[in-house]
Amino acid sequence: MAKPTILAVDDDRVVLAAVERDLRRQYGKEYRILGADSGAGALDALRQLQLRNHPVALFLADQRMPQMTGVEFLSQAIALFPTAKRVLLTAYADTEAAIRAINDIRLDHYLMKPWDPPEERLYPVLSDLLADWQAQFRPAFEGIRVIGHQWSAQGHAIKDFLARNQVPYQWLDIEADTTTGQLLAAAGAAPASLPVVIFPDGSHLVQPALAQVAEKVGLRTQARAPFYDLVIVGGGPAGLAAGVYGASEGLRTLIIEREAPGGQAAQSSRIENYLGFPVGLSGLDLARRAVAQATRFGTEILTPQEVTGVQLNGRYKLLTLADGSEVGCHALLVATGVQYRKLDAPGVEALTGAGIYYGAAMTEALSTKGQDAYIVGGGNSAGQAAMYLSGFARQVTILVRGYGLAESMSQYLIDQIGATSNIAVRARTGVVAAQGTANLEALTLTGVDTGATETVPAAALFIFIGAAPRTEWLSDLVERDKQGFILTGSDLLREGKRPRGWSLGRDPYWPESSVPGIFAAGDVRARSVKRIASAVGEGSMAVQFVHQYLAST
Ligand SMILES: Cc1cc2nc3c(=O)[nH]c(=O)nc-3n(C[C@H](O)[C@H](O)[C@H](O)COP(=O)(O)OP(=O)(O)OC[C@H]3O[C@@H](n4cnc5c(N)ncnc54)[C@H](O)[C@@H]3O)c2cc1C
């Protein structure tokens, strides 16, 4: 934590140097001593400290300064640091102004110049005030601060990005937090241009793209080398497992992840069926451990970075990334999982990010406090989200088009939901419209059997309506099924014949696609089991076949 500051202000440089010297001698170990030779200069310095969220313990200002008196300075300084102690350096003639300041700006003390000897006339007063300040001091949050409107989609995207990349941040809602105005002024940012992200070094970004935030927090989006033995597209459980095995077995391995490592699993508030964690663990925790393990073995991870295309150059695979850069490899593992389908109803798209979210969006749970939240979908992911939200929202309602949860959800979750008083399940019900101006305010529901509609107040809607693979970027290079899942191994053989264009004298390996050296693992692979453990297993096993492929090329 940064040392708290004691700020001395005096236009007479000789006096200022003497004050600084005496302060440093007595308090330099515990406090940072800062001097300014004008009120305006001191206020500039304070604004920088405010941007960095560094604490200020005490102001010591000379009353007699030409452009701005000590009292005038203090009255502006305390607006920036309201808990700092206020001391005025005065001459005899200033006594009246100092006494007035006790009432006007709650001046803590006024000292007569000269203050020699400081042991008698300066330190006892200041030490007493500093002890008082320390007793009430609560260290401020020193990480990244994000200022925005509660219902801003861009603000939500930044929060979600930081949370999923496990970067601690503090969210400051412009409407609820009184300090945000000063912070924006100190940063020179207009309240109309939110969200603003302020970093611990005092720098800031206005309405930043995620790649800019990523760069500031030290995430890598550019590959170190032009070519790798193994490139893995997707940093979910399958991709991370492959990263651990690939690098630990000596392959130069790169993972490219579009959003944040962890994939769908990172959205899970509590994974209860993963081997070795009898009391469960959160998806973010699993992702954090997996990233640490993969990078420890030397896997490079690019995030946020998206793969948008792939071409073959002989046996080499050349990937195009969203920023236009390219990276090549011997073997490619596609582990891009699946993504939630969009809910097609009027109002939904416009309010996405402003009360309507795809997936669990755990960062938004707090905003449902005391309000009504709805969940669309009846799978395990919807059930977990309902359990998590029930700790915040007044009422959580799960909407399912089927006859209940039994056909799609694990029994342990159905039991937990049944035992939670503020979760209701509405079967045979769908969402046909969403209403709200700045944010979601109401939903129109319809009965699947009756067609009757009803409009209900709603603060949040979380959508979990089935998922589809996003494999368009592979165009027609590899064979996919009708839904877009990648066909591998024996699924590619038709009446014993190998896929068209297959050039090798062997069948495709179990996780290998219709192109030799391009593999698929996890949810994106056709007919895979859509679970974390199976994705981890497939990613790990795929590396064995990558070795066999590399040995034969
Ligand atoms: C809320 C929720 C809770 C769940 N709970 C459980 C549970 O308790 N137990 C369980 O066993 N399973 C659970 N699942 C299912 C499980 O999470 C998935 O089966 C598993 O994550 C699949 O892993 P994967 O690596 O194949 O794909 P994913 O986890 O989908 O990861 C794929 C990754 O690829 C990235 N990506 C996609 N396209 C690109 C591209 N072009 N370029 C770069 N990156 C790309 C994505 O951003 C994503 O991070 C849950 C799923 C959800 C959504």
User: How does DSSP assign 81-99, residue by residue?
Assistant: STTSEEEEEE-GGGHHHHH
For ligand 1, the distance from its centroid to the CA atom of residue 361, given in whole angstroms, is 14
The Cα angle at residue 130 between residues 127 and 135, in degrees rounded to 5: 125
What does the DSSP 8-state code read for residue 455? Answer: E
d(CA 101, CA 265): 59
For ligand 1, the distance from its centroid to the CA atom of residue 109, given in whole angstroms, is 61
For ligand 1, the distance from its centroid to the CA atom of residue 337, given in whole angstroms, is 5
| Contact predicate 338/467, CB 8 Å | yes
Q: Which residue matches tokens 């007044």?
A: 394
Share of the chain above pLDDT 90, in %: 79
Nearest to 239 by CA among 259, 210, 216: 259
Dump pLDDT digits (tens) for 11-68: 999 999 999 999 999 999 999 999 999 999 999 999 999 999 899 999 999 999 999 9
| Contact predicate 255/235, CB 8 Å | yes
| Contact predicate 519/317, CB 8 Å | no
pLDDT at 490: 96
Angle between helices 180-187 and 39-51 (to 10 degrees): 110
pLDDT at 525: 98
Q: Give strand ranges (E) for 92-141.
A: 109-112
pLDDT at 141: 78
pLDDT at 269: 80
Pocket, ligand 1, Cβ cutoff 6 A: 233-239, 256-259, 263-265, 267-268, 271, 273, 306-307, 335-338, 359-360, 380-381, 384, 470, 473, 522-524, 530-533, 535
Residue of 232, 320, 336 to test ligand 1 pocket, by largest number of atoms within 8 Å of CB? 336
Angle between helices 411-418 and 380-389 (to 10 degrees): 30
Q: How far is CA 12 from CA 19, 75, 134, 151, 289, in A?
A: 11, 21, 30, 50, 57
Nearest to 400 by CA among 470, 458, 447: 447
For ligand 1, the distance from its centroid to the CA atom of residue 548, given in whole angstroms, is 27
pLDDT at 268: 84
Nearest atom in ligand 1 to 382's CA: 1
What does the DSSP 8-state code read for residue 445? Answer: E
pLDDT at 142: 78
pLDDT at 199: 93
Residue of 160, 256, 264, 325 to test ligand 1 pocket, by largest number of atoms within 8 Å of CB? 264
pTM for this prediction: 0.79
For ligand 1, the distance from its centroid to the CA atom of residue 265, given in whole angstroms, is 5
And the tokens for 372? 């009504």
Dump pLDDT digits (tens) for 501-526: 998 999 999 999 999 999 999 999 99
For ligand 1, the distance from its centroid to the CA atom of residue 535, given in whole angstroms, is 9
Question: What contacts 156, CB < 8 A, 6 or more positions away?
Answer: 353, 354, 357, 361, 363, 364
pLDDT at 427: 97
**How many other C-beta atoms can be found within 10 angstroms of the C-beta atom of residue 123?**
18
For ligand 1, the distance from its centroid to the CA atom of residue 418, given in whole angstroms, is 27
pLDDT at 236: 97
Give how far the C-alpha of residue 87 lies from the chain's centroid of Cα atoms, to the nearest Å: 41
Q: Which residue matches tokens 């798209």?
A: 349
pLDDT at 140: 78
d(CA 242, CA 487): 19
pLDDT at 522: 97
Nearest atom in ligand 1 to 532's CA: 11
Which residues in the chain come in under a pLDDT of 70?
none
H helices present in 143-251, as ranges: 153-164, 180-187, 210-216, 237-248
